[in-house]
Homo-oligomer: A and B are copies of this chain.
C-alpha cells in the first residue's frame, strides 16, 4: 500500500485522520506541538513542545523530542489507543495493562501526519553478538588456550550461568567468562563466584576471563585471585567468523 502525507487545517480534521490511522493500524508519524503525561511504573510530565509521535501497527507508541537518541515517553507493543477532543485539545491516550500504564498526549497543533498501511517488514540480522563469539570459541578453543577442550556451554553454576566450561591440557577444569566489551572488576567478581560454587562441586577449577580489553582494577583483582586474562581481537575474530560462515554456506550450496 502506498504512503500518505497530510497537513491538517484544523485539530478536528487532524483528529479524524489520527483515528483512521490508528483503526487501520497504519505505520505513522505525527509531528505536533503537545504535552505528555505518563503514569505507571514511574510518572512523568512534560510542558508543551514540538515532538514527533511514532505509532506502529504492532501497537507501540514512541514520543521523541528534538534531541537525544532516547524517546521522552513510550508504550511498547500491544498497547491500546483512544482519541478524543477536550477543551479545544486533541487527546491521544495509550493504555497498557500488566503493568497498568497510561500515556496521555495533549495535542495543541498538528503540523503533519504521514503514514503507510501494511508496511513491509524487512529482515534484520545482527552479527558479532556475545553468543556468536561464544559459539565460535567453543569450536575453536585453541584461540583461548592451547590444549583446551570445551565440555559445556551456559553451564548452570549456582547464582548464574558459566559461558564456557571445559578442561585444560593438564586435566584441570576451566571456567571461561566471556565479555564482548572491555571487562571491569565486576566481570572478575562474577567469574570468582562461579569458581567458588564449582570448587565445592567438582574440586579444582581454574578461571579464564576472555575480553577485548580489561580495566586496571580488573587486572589487579584477576592477578591476586589467580584468574587468567585472555585478550581477543574482535576485528580478526569477526573476519574469522565471516569466512567460516562463507565456508559453511559454500558447503551447503554444494551439496
User: CB of A45 within 8 A of chain B?
Assistant: yes
Binds B, one of A53-61, A81-89, A170-178, A224-232: A53-61
Complex interface residues of chain A between 9 and 63 (CB less than 8 A to chain B) = 27, 29, 31, 33, 35, 41-52, 54, 56-58, 60, 62
A227 to chain B, nearest CB (A): 16
Query: How many residues does chain A have at the interface if contact means C-beta atoms less than 8 Å apart?
Result: 63
User: CB of A72 within 8 A of chain B?
Assistant: yes
Report whether B125 and A66 are in contact in the complex, using a CB–CB cutoff of 8 Å: no
Report whether B124 and A42 are in contact in the complex, using a CB–CB cutoff of 8 Å: no
In the complex, chain B residues whose CB is within 8 Å of the CB of A127: 42-45
User: CB of A254 within 8 A of chain B?
Assistant: no
In the complex, chain B residues whose CB is within 8 Å of the CB of A114: 5, 29, 31, 111-112, 114
Binds B, one of A115-123, A136-144, A147-155, A198-206: A115-123
User: CB of A157 within 8 A of chain B?
Assistant: no
In the complex, chain B residues whose CB is within 8 Å of the CB of A56: 64, 66-68
Q: Which residue of B lies closest to A76 (CB)?
A: B69
Report whether B43 and A54 are in contact in the complex, using a CB–CB cutoff of 8 Å: no
Report whether A66 and B31 are in contact in the complex, using a CB–CB cutoff of 8 Å: no
